[in-house]
Amino acid sequence: MASSALQAQRLALDVTAHNVANAATKGYSRQVVTLAPGYPQQSASGRGQVGSGVVVQGIERVRDRFLDMQYRAESSSLGRWETLEEALREIQVMFNEPSQAGLREVLNQLWRSFQELANNPEDPAVRTMVLEDGRAFAEAVRHTYRQLTDLQSNVNEHIAGQVEEINLLVREIAHVSGLIARTKVGGDEPNDLLDRRDLLLDQLARMVDVEVKEDDVTGSVFVSVNGVVLVDGSTPNLLVATPGPGGGYEVRTEGGNVLTVKSGSLRGLLELRDEIIPRHLQNLETWVTAIMDAVNLQHAAGYDINGQAGQAFFVTAAGYSVAGSIEVNPALEPQHVAASSMGEQGDGANALALADVKGSPLVNGASPDDFYLAWVASLGIEGREAERMVENGRLLTRQIELQRDDVAGVSLDEEMTRMIMYQHAYNAAARMITALDEALDVVINRMGLVGR
């Protein structure tokens, strides 16, 4: 009995030391020794049973699967919103509204130039200013278009990079799952391997919305994303990023199955590339096309300083989008600006009509300014919504994480208390052996001397 107590308390002290050593280790779950009394034996006197000491039933880790499921679900949602928030903040910086450098102010400067030309139709400096302000507007539009398309391209490359990150985690989870199964078969409880696997699953859940099932007998884990299996026990099912019809990467399994992602940072990236950025590009294209067509139509209705009919004010490159290639007609010189409506000297009526394009219902029944303001406002709402969801998501994941720490985290105060208890129990068992040794010494040696 004393020997079993020494062994059990020594093991308990080892587990306590392991807990203390990993008190600050991310993903570690505290472990406890499960002790039970040994099977009793019939006493030598035949009157009742006597205990046979203590038995170590096992070393268990303290973990709550339900909290793990909650944490991964919230972490996946948070990963999506964090990705969207970061990108939307970058898009807002591109438009830089309200400011003196935004698209709205650049366009307003062009309207003001047309107004000034109406007042001074024959002034060469004013005519030059009109062309320069037109070029500034076209350059600002092209620059915004390039920024959006570059962001879309970067997001696409990030998707391919994240697929590789997912594959690394999938390989590692499958490897650890195999080690766990082999350890379980040997009759041991692979607590530290289970912690390693769960930490990897937490990291994977940040990227995709995983569903995790565990075989309680073998310890093997099965990980899937909306029906597509990524880990089957010790077998990884890797993903590939293949170029799609539009040039963007499609995420598939090596077997060719398309991966449908509903949450996680990968979902946020796909949403940005395929929905959010294309929507803003389309708004830019619609807005600029309406302005260009209206200005060109009105400019062609007037006459330049030489009495010639107005040419196209803006032109685009064939085969390219309007927003990506708009520029002031290279053939236009200051004298070619069609300020007159009748071709007479001092007539600035057409320039005034060009300035009045600002308030015309050109874009889906709204003026260019109203359409742009509504568009930028919707972008701001999107950004604020993402910020709010990130804030809420972080709060929820933190609360669940605290709950998990309450269950699985190491309390140094509690471990110190256990250590003292195990230490006293160990000392008492050792003292019991000393007492038995002394008793046997009396029986064997001293009683023999008395007999002689």
Directed axis angle between helix 124-185 and helix 264-271, to 10°? Answer: 150
One domain for residues 169 and 150? yes
As a whole number, mean pLDDT of residues 60-85 equals: 94
- At residue 448 the predicted structure's pLDDT band, cuts being 50, 70 and 90, is low
Q: Domain tally for the chain?
A: 2
| pLDDT tens sequence across 159-181 | 999 999 999 999 999 999 999 99
| pLDDT at res. 452 | 54
Which pLDDT belongs to residue 366? 92
**Per-residue pLDDT, 437:** 84
Whether residues 165 and 32 share a domain: the answer is no
Which two three-digit tokens encode residue 179? 């080690």
Q: Inform me whether the pLDDT recorded for 100 exceeds 80.
A: no
Q: Does residue 114 share a domain with residue 29?
A: no
Same domain, 7 and 102: no
Query: Which position has the higher pLDDT, 346 or 208?
Result: 208
> Does residue 92 fall inside a structural domain?
yes
| Mean pLDDT over each residue of the chain, to the nearest integer | 91
Mean local confidence (pLDDT), 110-138? 94
Q: Which residues pair with 31 in a beta bridge?
A: 61
What is the per-residue pLDDT across 251-282, written as a single tens digit (0 to 9) for each? Answer: 998 888 889 999 999 999 999 999 999 999 99
- pLDDT over 70 (residue 241): yes
pLDDT in the model for residue 447: 66
Q: Are 57 and 32 in contact (CB under 8 A)?
A: no
- Residue 23 domain flag: yes
User: What beta strand segments (E) does 286-364 contain?
Assistant: 314-315, 327-328
In this prediction, residue 451 carries a pLDDT of 52
Domain membership of residue 13 as a residue range: 2-62+414-451
CA torsion, points 81, 159, 149, 104, in degrees to nearest 10? 10
**Average pLDDT in the 98-104 region?**
82
| pLDDT at residue 443 in the model | 81
Write down the residue that tokens 């199964």 correspond to.
181
Rounded to two decimals, what is the model's pTM? 0.87
Residue 106 lies in a domain: yes
99 and 165 part of one domain? yes
Domain match, 173 and 241 both: yes
Mean pLDDT over 381-403 rounds to 95
Helix (H, G, I), strand (E, B) or coil at 229: strand
Tell me, yes or no, whether 377 and 253 share the same domain.
yes
Please check whether residue 316 lies inside any domain of the structure.
Answer: no
Same domain for 92 and 28: no
On whether both 142 and 192 belong to a single domain, the answer is yes
48 and 169 assigned to the same domain: no
- Tell me whether residue 78 is in a domain: yes
Spatial separation of the C-alpha atoms in residues 409 and 27, rounded to whole Å: 9
CA distance 58 to 10: 14
In this structure, the answer to whether residues 281 and 163 fall within a common structural domain is yes
pLDDT in tens, 331-344: 999 999 999 988 78
Q: Which of 43-57, 303-317, 423-437 has the lowest mean pLDDT?
A: 43-57
Q: Does residue 47 fall inside a structural domain?
A: yes
Q: How far is CA 79 from CA 20, 197, 264, in A?
A: 32, 20, 5
Residue 301 lies inside a defined structural domain of this protein: no
Residue 219 has pLDDT above 80, yes or no: yes
Examine the domain organization and report whether 30 and 122 are in the same domain: no
pLDDT of residue 449: 57
Closest C-alpha to 254, from 167, 147, 333: 167
- Would residue 314 count as lying in a domain? no
- With a pLDDT cut of 70, the percent of the chain lying above it is 98
